[in-house]
A and B are shown apart, each in its own frame.
Chain A
Amino acid sequence: MIRFVLTRLGLLVPTFLGITLLAFVLIRLVPGDPIETLAGERGLDPALHEKLRQEYGFDKPWLTQYAIYIGRVLHGDLGRSLITHEPVLSEFRSLFPATVELALCAIAFALPIGLGAGMLAAVRRNSIFDQGVMGVSLAGYSMPIFWWGLLLILLFSVELDLTPVSGRISVMYFIEPVTGFLLIDTLLSDQEGAFLSAVGHLILPSIVLGTVPLAVVARMTRSAMLEVLGEDYIRTARAKGLPSWRVIGLHALRNALIPVVTVIGLQISVLFTGAILTETIFSWPGVGKWLIESINRRDYPVLQGGTLLIGTTVMTVNLVVDLLYGLINPRIRYAK
């Protein structure tokens, strides 16, 4: 197992270097003078220009510049936002919990429904229920979620007036950030109604963000389950006279979950993509909206630092999923 962990950790290094290289090259590809791009001003004072040139190392060869950049990144220095003048890292930290909270709620919505629907569809193969699940999940998989979000707002917020249109919590409440997760912070703050307000604001965004993962999990669970249900040991379990729910819920599900876990792991990247769109639609103050705004404001340090941080986060989560995968499936661990 230790060998397995070390190999996976070793594979991170080139990927991380690749991500830093991407972020490094990106800022230099922006048309115009890179120093003016990074400083956010045109027509800088020549003295200041020269000072910045040396500070960022633009007078040195590319490889040295890249080394300087890596050094700064490893020290947690990702530059400052041109607009707020806050360090990029601390802005990211204050916004990241909002995105994580949304993503977790989306998973909490998608996973149980997806697993349940997928399992039932597999057990009742070719039934109307099965065809319905497959049809709906294909539609979910093809869904432009930015439109889906607008439709849900149209129905639930405008027509039925059930849910709020945007934000994380009603403006009536001021919650001191403790964990950054509003569901926890509102409970800690003891303000009446704050928790429910936070929940209400989470419902639509979670559904929107959870739609594609839900479709993928349902499809994946169904096909994994179908495969497992055809195996000999399932027939043996049935022949032993075990009740059907035990065969399906325990014997089959455990093995069927293996590919599903991998797919859920891969969904992290999809979740970030979705978060950018969902946060934009619902004015959700997370990192996705932050990045889109950074583009509109030409705040390149934020774009560069945010890209790097999100890339690193996805990479780390992928690693964790990989390790978990090894844990639940010994066949992977001992392969090779």
Chain B
Amino acid sequence: MPSPSAASSQPPHPLREFWQYFSVNRGAVAGLTVLAVVLVAALLADVISPHSPYATDSTVALTPPFWQHGGSLAFPLGTDAIGRDILSRLIHGARLSLTIGVSVVALSTVVGVVLGLAAGFARGAVDIAVMRAMDVLLTMPSLLLAIVIVAVLGPGLMNAMLAVAVVVLPHYVRVTRAAVLGELAKDYVTASRVSGAGTLRLMFKDVLPNCTAPLIVQASLGVSTAILDAAALGFLGLGAQPPSPEWGTMLADAREFVLRAWWVVTFPGLMILITVLACNLLGDGLRDALDPKLKV
């Protein structure tokens, strides 16, 4: 029940209101902080990394991290089998992983929104065709589908990103379509239609802005899936190719040294875990703040 004083005062700015809800969630703030650090590291990779991520030096191969016997501060997290500095590779890998996460989500959001809008507005045959196709994509285990796509297109970072974007596409189409169907029943859509708005205007100017909350949530959680799947492809030798410092690819390189050099294996995976965890925390926080209905 609004009190008289609240009714007379200005409503808070939407962003301020959002921050109020969001900042209550300590996990979400922690996720945001970690991601901010990773982002800064990625942006300043050339400045802050102590070595080039590609520079090899066989005299220092498999140097342990500095706190272990034989380690040195010149290579804080040690070196890999051909003497590359692991810390520098991790920092440059952050650039790749964030790029992967953001581009995959951007691509699948754009395509997903268009397909979802088309399915929601057209109904009938278009709707059935789009949704059935998405069901087929959803039936296939995600990594298998991605692997198959990469096997056809050929391994590499771009193809791996494309494959992951295809694999996650159904979620964006479904979310958009569901939101569109919810909005289409509302009066403002009818009003807009009556006043002569065309279908495209209805789609993008009237309905879409009201569907953004579930989409933002889906996209923020999607970044973590994209990073994880692309890293898995890299690990299987189908993603970014060596000597790229992509974290999954680094792990694939490191597999044979698991018995001799724990640090080569441990740090890249830890970076994947931390980044993905941060994305998930942030996504959960956004969901709770923007769209409490979706709370599981």
Interface residues of A (CB under 8 A from B): 14-15, 18-19, 21-22, 26, 29-31, 138-139, 141-144, 146-148, 150-151, 153-154, 158, 219-220, 223, 269-273, 276-277, 280, 291-292, 295-296, 303, 307, 310-311, 314-315, 318
Q: Do B151 and A303 touch across chains, with their CB atoms under 8 A apart?
A: yes
B144 touching A19, Cβ below 8 Å: no
User: What residues of chain B lie closer than 8 Å to A31, measured between beta carbons?
Assistant: 154
Chain A nearest Cβ from B80, distance in angstroms: 15
B162 at the interface (CB under 8 A from A): no
- Contact check, A138 vs B281: say whether CB atoms are below 8 A apart: yes
Interface contacts beyond A271-B141, A277-B232: sample of 18 additional A-B pairs, CB < 8 Å, sorted by A: A18-B133, A26-B152, A30-B151, A138-B27, A139-B273, A142-B228, A142-B280, A144-B232, A144-B251, A147-B270, A153-B258, A220-B296, A223-B296, A270-B142, A273-B142, A273-B143, A295-B147, A307-B140
Provide the residues of chain A in CB contact with B238, threshold 8 Å. 295
B277 near A139: Cβ-Cβ < 8 Å: yes
CB contact under 8 A between A18 and B272, given known A219-B296, A277-B235: no
Assess whether A158 is in contact with B273, with CB atoms less than 8 Å apart.
no
Interface size class, chain B:
35 or more
Chain B nearest Cβ from A290, distance in angstroms? 12
B73 sits at the interface (CB 8 A): no
Contact partners of B270 in chain A: CB under 8 A:
147
A151-B266 in contact (CB<8A): yes
- CB closest residue in chain B, given A153: B258
Q: Is the CB of B272 within 8 A of A141?
A: no
B265 interface contact, C-beta 8 A: yes
In the docked arrangement, what's the CA distance between A155 and B258, Å? 10
List 12 A–B pairs whose Cβ atoms lie within 8 Å, in order of A's numbering: A146-B251, A146-B269, A150-B251, A151-B266, A151-B269, A154-B266, A269-B138, A273-B142, A273-B144, A276-B141, A276-B143, A303-B148
Chain B binding site: helix, strand, loop or mixed by DSSP? Answer: helix
In the assembled complex, which residues on chain B have CB atoms less than 8 Å from the CB atom of A291? 144, 147
Docked pose: A154 CA to B153 CA in angstroms: 34
* In the bound complex, CA of A223 to CA of B281 (Å): 17
* Cβ contact within 8 Å between B139 and A269: yes
CB distance from A286 to the nearest CB of B (A): 13
- Closest Cβ of chain A to B111, distance in Å, is 18
Residues of chain B at the chain A interface (Cβ within 8 Å): 27, 132-133, 135-136, 138-144, 147-148, 151-154, 224, 228, 231-232, 235-238, 248, 251, 254-255, 258-259, 262, 265-266, 268-270, 272-273, 276-277, 279-281, 284, 296
By a CB distance below 8 angstroms, the chain A residues around B236 are 276-277, 280, 292
Cα A307 to Cα B142 in complex, Å, equals 12
Question: A147: which of B133, B268, B280 is its contact (CB, 8 Å)?
Answer: B268
Asked if residues A147 and B269 are in contact (CB atoms below 8 Å), the reply is yes
- Nearest-neighbour CB distance to chain B for A64, whole angstroms, equals 22
Find chain B residues with CB under 8 A from A318 CB.
139
Within 8 Å CB of A310, what residues of B? Answer: 140-141, 144
Contacts A144-B272, A147-B272 given; indicate if A14 touches B132 (C-beta within 8 A): yes
Closest 7 CB pairs of A and B: A147-B269, A18-B136, A272-B141, A273-B143, A142-B276, A142-B277, A273-B141
Question: A142 to B148, Cβ gap below 8 A?
Answer: no
Min CB–CB distance B186 → chain A (angstroms)? 24
A144 and B280 contact, CB distance less than 8 A: no
Q: Complex: how many Å from CA A143 to CA B231?
A: 11
Q: How far is the CA of A78 from the CA of B101 in the complex (A)?
A: 36
Contact B147 A276 (CB under 8 A): yes
| B280 touching A314, Cβ below 8 Å | no
Contact B273 A143 (CB under 8 A): yes
Q: Are A276 and B273 in contact (CB under 8 A)?
A: no
Cα of A295 to Cα of B146 in the assembled complex, Å: 12
Q: How far is the CB of B255 from chain A (nearest CB, A)?
A: 7
CB-based contact B144/A144 at 8 Å: no
Nearest CB of chain B from residue A169's CB, rounded to whole Å: 21
**Which of A142, A296, A311, A315 counts the most chain B CB atoms within 10 A?**
A142
B273 touches A19 (CB 8 A): no
Task: Decide: B152 and A30 in contact? CB cutoff 8 A.
Answer: yes
CA distance A21 to B129 in the complex (A): 14
For A292, list chain B residues within 8 Å (CB): 147, 236
B277 x A272 contact (CB < 8 A): no
Residue pair B133, A142 in contact (C-beta under 8 Å):
no
CA A19 to CA B153, docked complex, whole Å: 19
Could you say which of B27, B228, B265, B280 contacts A151, with CB atoms under 8 Å apart? Answer: B265
